[in-house]
Structure 1
């Protein structure tokens, strides 16, 4: 069903953009109509084939699949200014003297925005820093540095060499621990022997910890878990550990499947934190679902870390994502609990981001100044 909808939307975008660009005199005067539309048809066929083949993590099918997703992203970004120009001119029915000029400007804006979105999608993630007061944090841990990284989406686009560059970024921050908050892979296990060695390069004296995201379950989750464990990553699958004396780290299994089926998404958290926390507690939950946020706050979690939203990834989808997840990205306070949602280091679908690039989050913990 998703592919059918994608095909319909992509087809409408494709031929709309092709039609509006061919209305430009500079294009019509240089390209024969039959050549233009034959080219448009061939590109559309490649797009449809790519959607059909899918975005396989390893195989050759990735190439047409990735082209299809990137082309869809470009078409969407191109459609925004073109449609705005058409609405302003009544699709050429009024303001005729300037309709061509506006359409040309819109096409140029669409090309520039698409190029910028691709640049933001392929560039290295930036470092975003937060300094947060954590209730019940022992004085000895004041100033502890943690690196949070989510939504790596390792796969055909991002392999072990890309991850090696991220390891160098993370190590430069000198964290006490690295927290991987879900969607480490695109779908399937990476299947690249070099990954384990790369992950073992992470320098964090209090360990590298991970929770699953929804994408881990789109492939063979147990193989993915094993691949990361070979690299020294320890998973928190509805479990908690003492990260340091007086500081507990808890992690829950991804709640995406329960959300889709209408099940109880707080079962894992209830098992991990059956009672109110009596020590400083950090919770890793890939999806910032409202019931999980509310229960975590009620049970004394001081800091919850999530990803999943990608910050909307391509504007204006951020508004749609925010309708589902009101705390879209960044730092929030919910019922006295700190909540940090990362837009992720990687991306899903087209390797495009509009407006913000991917991010790696550095968190410095501070003692809470509030009195009991």
Structure 2
């Protein structure tokens, strides 16, 4: 079954890329030539670099090689999505444009009458032959060029704007969450929630510094880093994560699934060295509520999965409890253990439209605040991006959760 699935996926990818090449390069040229060959090299080369970037990241290839492959490979990955979607949408426009061209009548050129020549007058010289006319492209070729050019422009613009938005740093969202058990003295308590920073071969130290500066500007009481901080080893990315030492508020950390692709134990120790407190299936009692954290589900393969009983057992149920858990699907365990508020990330809000449709189907909440019984769940769209450093329809964010006491 695995082999059949792989073959089907490869068949779909080959067909989709052949279609993109055909519409952008074959159908927009009048015959074989360098344009078609360059188009084939671009499509095939882009996917080879994207595949190479993914493999290099997962296998721990030399970091310089990861960086060389990541930028062009991941950007092509994003660009190819919108080229394909745009060309498919263009199929609906193609017959309409062709029909419009067919209805246009060629302009009528008035025929100039020759003036009579008087008897005995010399015969006027023949007019010079006009310059040879260049044959106009066929309607089919013209339509293909118009649609191909429009789609390429729109796709490049979409990816360009989406990439600029990520590199420019996350925006700040502010959400008020009332908690029934929160004492009046804690009314207005601020938690800066940051997830999915994804430091790696594309987003590095400079991006981490922008995230830290944004968090500090909100003046939170505590910072909650809810997983997927990195995509790579401590050796390669330790310097990129160093700006976390400049966080001004106490900071807490839980693992995400990508930490388990990158050496979770080493990263737990590294964030501890940087001044963050890892909550590995653990709980700390803050003055007005309990703050707990559980490991990510991906840790189960290494015997380090989430343990809600360890993190939440034997606590005073009269106190409010805030839980840090990377994936929203962990909400069901949180409900069973009487958690008041769970803070999560993981979804990226879909990151690249229409990826939000897929992410929404795989997670109970895609982004924002929702209630599950007596437990509330807030899901951040994340500060960074995985794969393409690009977001479309899912702006990155750092969320300041302001807790509200119903006794205030």
Give the TM-score of the pair, scaled to structure 2: 0.78
Q: Tell me, in whole angstroms, the C-alpha distance in 1 between the residues paired with 2:160 and 2:385.
A: 16
Matched length: 358
Q: Tell me, in whole angstroms, the C-alpha distance in 2 between the residues paired with 1:321 and 1:121.
A: 19
1:274 alignment partner in structure 2:
313
Structure 1 position 256 matched with structure 2 position 295: no
Residue 181 of structure 1 contacts residue 307 of structure 1 at CA under 8 Å; is this kept in 2?
Answer: yes
Residue 17 of structure 1 contacts residue 78 of structure 1 at CA under 8 Å; is this kept in 2?
Answer: yes
Which of the residues 148, 169, 179 maps onto 2:193?
148
Residue 184 of structure 2 contacts residue 406 of structure 2 at CA under 8 Å; is this kept in 1?
Answer: no
Q: Tell me, in whole angstroms, the C-alpha distance in 1 between the residues paired with 2:9 and 2:165.
A: 24
Which of the residues 383, 390, 406 maps onto 1:352?
390
Q: Tell me, in whole angstroms, the C-alpha distance in 2 between the residues paired with 1:246 and 1:156.
A: 40
Q: Tell me, in whole angstroms, the C-alpha distance in 1 between the residues paired with 2:94 and 2:52.
A: 37
1:61 alignment partner in structure 2:
66
2:38 alignment partner in structure 1:
39
Which of the residues 19, 22, 47 maps onto 2:22?
19
Q: Tell me, in whole angstroms, the C-alpha distance in 1 between the residues paired with 2:308 and 2:159.
A: 41
DSSP 3-state at the match of 2:33? helix
The verdict on how the C-alpha distance between 1:343 and 1:8 changes in structure 2, with shifts beyond 3 A counting, is farther
The verdict on how the C-alpha distance between 1:308 and 1:55 changes in structure 2, with shifts beyond 3 A counting, is farther
1:324 alignment partner in structure 2:
362
Cα displacement (A) at 1:156 = 1.6
Query: Unpaired runs of 5+ in structure 1?
Result: none
Which of the residues 74, 81, 84 maps onto 2:79?
74
Q: Tell me, in whole angstroms, the C-alpha distance in 2 between the residues paired with 1:39 and 1:304.
A: 51
Structure 1 position 287 matched with structure 2 position 330: no
The verdict on how the C-alpha distance between 1:280 and 1:5 changes in structure 2, with shifts beyond 3 A counting, is farther
Q: Tell me, in whole angstroms, the C-alpha distance in 2 between the residues paired with 1:5 and 1:135.
A: 52
Residue 195 of structure 1 contacts residue 231 of structure 1 at CA under 8 Å; is this kept in 2?
Answer: no
2:339 alignment partner in structure 1:
301
Cα displacement (A) at 1:145 = 1.0
Higher mean C-alpha deviation, range 189-198 or range 130-139: 189-198
Q: Tell me, in whole angstroms, the C-alpha distance in 2 between the residues paired with 1:55 and 1:175.
A: 37
The verdict on how the C-alpha distance between 1:8 and 1:256 changes in structure 2, with shifts beyond 3 A counting, is farther
Cα displacement (A) at 1:36 = 1.8
Which of the residues 255, 259, 281 maps onto 1:216?
259
Which of the residues 154, 174, 184 maps onto 1:129?
174
Residue 167 of structure 2 contacts residue 207 of structure 2 at CA under 8 Å; is this kept in 1?
Answer: no
Q: Tell me, in whole angstroms, the C-alpha distance in 1 between the residues paired with 2:239 and 2:336.
A: 42
Higher mean C-alpha deviation, range 114-123 or range 222-231: 114-123
1:139 alignment partner in structure 2:
184
2:278 alignment partner in structure 1:
235
Bigger Rg over Cα:
2
The C-alpha deviation readout for 1:280-325, integer Å capped at 9, x for no partner, is: 1100000111xx3123123321110000011010011111111111
Q: Tell me, in whole angstroms, the C-alpha distance in 2 between the residues paired with 1:177 and 1:55.
A: 36
The C-alpha deviation readout for 1:26-53, integer Å capped at 9, x for no partner, is: xx37xx7421232233331353154135
Cα displacement (A) at 1:69 = 2.4
The C-alpha deviation readout for 1:54-79, integer Å capped at 9, x for no partner, is: 35373323322442222121011111
Give the TM-score of the pair, scaled to structure 1: 0.85
Cα displacement (A) at 1:151 = 0.3
Q: Tell me, in whole angstroms, the C-alpha distance in 2 between the residues paired with 1:255 and 1:66.
A: 29
The verdict on how the C-alpha distance between 1:4 and 1:306 changes in structure 2, with shifts beyond 3 A counting, is farther
Query: Unpaired runs of 5+ in structure 2?
Result: 103-138
The C-alpha deviation readout for 1:145-187, integer Å capped at 9, x for no partner, is: 1101000111121222221121111111111111000001013
Residue 182 of structure 1 contacts residue 212 of structure 1 at CA under 8 Å; is this kept in 2?
Answer: yes
The C-alpha deviation readout for 1:301-353, integer Å capped at 9, x for no partner, is: 11100000110100111111111113101111111322110111010111111
The C-alpha deviation readout for 1:125-155, integer Å capped at 9, x for no partner, is: 1101101112211111111111010001111
